[in-house]
Chains A and B, each alone.
Chain A
Amino acid sequence: MLPILHALQEEFGYVDDEAIPLIADALNLSKAEVVGVVHFYHDYRHEVPGRHILKVCRAEACQSMGCESLVGHLTSKLATAMGETTADGAFSLDTVYCLGNCALSPAVMLDGRLYGKVTNDRIDALLERVEAHP
């Protein structure tokens, strides 16, 4: 079922509730089973995300290099909370635990691309750039 859910999210940006009976029917499962899977995994979104998705690593290696101050900077700059989307629909801010870039912390992933040694200035420049060239 995971490949199906990944494909839906890739296409629509999230897994819509309307897809659940269709998947259940195709895989010969109950709707409850499908909902159970969709809600178990952190990756699957249940609502339309922002135009850009910024995942910020907040695991130990990034903590040791100050990711929490990066989080503070981002949430105040974008006036939103982790796990939320900005009011203008530009950015969704996600917490993740480890992007596998622990020697170059703090790390973030912006629209599927990994960045290391991220400073407040660097993240500002990155956000500006992706907004200018959506």
Chain B
Amino acid sequence: MTTKIYVPCDSAAVSVGADEVAYALRAEANRRGLDILIVRNGSRGALWLEPLVEVETERGRVAYGNVEAAAVPGLLDSGLLDGAGENLGLADEIPYIKDQERLTFARVGITDPVSLDDYLAHGGFEGLKRALTMQPAEIVEEVTNSGLRGRGGAGFPTGIKWRTVLNEPEQQKYIVCNADEGDSGTFADRMLMEGDPFTLIEGMTIAGLAVGATMGYVYVRSEYPDAFMTLNRAIEIARETGYLGASVSGSGKAFDMEARLGAGAYICGEETALLESLEGKRGVIRYKPPLPAIKGLFGQPTVVNNVISLATVPIVLAKGAEHYANFGMGRSKGTMPFQLAGNIKQGGLVEKAFGLTLREAIYDIGGGTATERPLRAVQVGGPLGAYFPEALLDTPLDYEAMAAQRGLLGHGGIVVFDDTVDMARQARFAMEFCAAESCGKCTPCRIGSTRGVEVIDKIIEDRDRVKNVELLEELCETMTDASLCLLGGLTPYPVLSAMGHFPEDFDKPAPPELEDVEENLKFSPRTLNR
């Protein structure tokens, strides 16, 4: 009998040796004449256990954590194929995996990402099937009622955006998927595209049916070559099997899509810069209004949604708006794939209903810091998100509660720092990053960020400290109020939160001299190139 063995193909798993484990299994099985089938699944999200190998048994899928290629012969000796030997028990029973509330990521880690049969066997295209029986306005209504909000970070209600596009007169419309996941600490889009690309295709198709768009584009950042490849493969399969094309599932309604590769520019995660880039131009942001929903790609009405928003649409349609809205708290309905990152023992992706606290996420699920030193700061929501001190860890993870603490949930990334972090350096980095990535269209962002780096340097070096702290606060106010988009507008968040919660780091004696490392950090060649 053939034994199925799952070895993730997720690039995080591969980054710590999953490919080598798969090769070793294949070679060793051939040598021993064992009948095995290796399935390359996505990742369950417990990235700290990767490579997480699972063996299908009568009891279920038995998990083996942190498997190394060199350990494969020993594992086979101890009965790997029967689920014996030292293991973690059933994968479904590992608390990290069991305690999740997986809606968007329901299939990720379970199935072979590019197997259409697997997708269909696990509820795939159920949402599309239902959408094909509905009027466009009914689909929009369903998405609106689910309470789904933009998972890219802005949290704008998805249904309302769709309604605007639907209400535009009949003409060429587009669905654009923002897969330019540039925030440090986030990898949900990548894991979804690598682990269950059909769900994104299904979500975009439903969006197309809902607003009357016949073409979709996915803008994938170039740092994600594996996701781009997997998504392209899935698009090909969907086309060959009639899920994409002139008549979606034989309905007579057309929808097709293409994936496009970015070229390394954080600003292209901003929706109008992304549209410019898709049109083949510099990724410079556009003035709003007009909104992309009115004048978007090539001047046509366009839905621009994040990967996770679109990939959540199929389950909303399949199970109904109410099912989805029953998860979450307040105005943050449904679930969010939180990403535990940085200095954390049990890092990975955890899909949970909104409302768990930062403390629960970091300690109960994440197990505290990886270095086992005391936690000092947590940055939530990427490079434009605020730094939280230990005292604020009881803040619930939902859009409004984070905003009330002058922070943002963003795309759900949570980056943990231990007590070796220097928050003045982190504030400086926020400005440096903004300087490197600014599109240059507006002055507060383009010039303000560079001046910000200089002022923070003066503070660190104890030159006119009091005056410069004041100046920095004023500069932050200007950037917040006068920047055209959120890159310049939100860079003050990490800066001001670092100053507000960790003032002692801005009041230390000046360092004797800058070390080599600091010199390197001071102006990276990237910054100078701009």
A64 touches B416 (CB 8 A): yes
Cβ contacts A72-104/B at 8 Å (1 or 0 each): 100110000111100000000001111111111
**Can you name the residue of chain B whose Cβ is closest to the Cβ of A59?**
B184
The answer to whether B164 has its CB under 8 Å from any CB of chain A is no
B525 touches A64 (CB 8 A): no
Complex Cα gap A75–B519 (Å): 12
A97 touches B263 (CB 8 A): no
The answer to whether A109 has its CB under 8 Å from any CB of chain B is yes
A84 touches B181 (CB 8 A): no
Complex Cα gap A104–B183 (Å): 15
Complex Cα gap A36–B440 (Å): 12
**Can you name the residue of chain A whose Cβ is closest to the Cβ of B418?**
A64
**Can you name the residue of chain A whose Cβ is closest to the Cβ of B43?**
A103
Which listed residue (B185, B224, B429) contacts A102, Cβ 8 A? B185
B283, B415, B429: most-surrounded residue (chain A CB, <10 A): B415
Which listed residue (B190, B260, B264) contacts A96, Cβ 8 A? B264
A36, A68, A76: most-surrounded residue (chain B CB, <10 A): A68
Cβ contacts A20-60/B at 8 Å (1 or 0 each): 00000001000001001100111110000000000001111
B182 touches A97 (CB 8 A): yes
A41 touches B11 (CB 8 A): no
A65 touches B525 (CB 8 A): no
Complex Cα gap A32–B524 (Å): 26
Residues of A within 8 A of B370 (CB): 65
Residues of A within 8 A of B421 (CB): 64
> Does more than half of chain A's interface fall in helix, strand or loop, or is it mixed?
mixed
**Can you name the residue of chain B whose Cβ is closest to the Cβ of A105?**
B342
Which listed residue (A2, A62, A75) contacts B277, Cβ 8 A? A2
A97 touches B184 (CB 8 A): yes
**Can you name the residue of chain A whose Cβ is closest to the Cβ of B11?**
A114
Known: A41-B264, A60-B426, A64-B415. Contact between A103 and B339, CB under 8 A?
Answer: yes
Complex Cα gap A63–B343 (Å): 9
A1, A36, A59, A81: most-surrounded residue (chain B CB, <10 A): A59
The answer to whether B281 has its CB under 8 Å from any CB of chain A is yes
Residues of A within 8 A of B186 (CB): 98, 100, 102
Which listed residue (A42, A43, A44, A61) contacts B185, Cβ 8 A? A61
Cβ contacts B320-351/A at 8 Å (1 or 0 each): 00000000000000000001111110011100
Known: A100-B187, A100-B190. 20 other contacts (CB 8 A): A3-B261, A5-B263, A37-B280, A40-B283, A41-B265, A42-B265, A59-B184, A59-B185, A60-B185, A64-B342, A64-B418, A72-B517, A82-B520, A83-B526, A83-B529, A97-B266, A98-B182, A100-B11, A100-B186, A109-B223
Would you list 28 pairs from A and B whose C-beta atoms are within 8 A, ordered by A residue? A2-B262, A2-B263, A6-B261, A6-B263, A37-B281, A41-B262, A41-B265, A42-B526, A43-B222, A44-B263, A58-B524, A59-B433, A60-B415, A63-B429, A64-B343, A64-B415, A75-B516, A81-B520, A82-B520, A83-B524, A95-B524, A96-B223, A97-B266, A100-B181, A102-B341, A114-B12, A114-B14, A117-B15
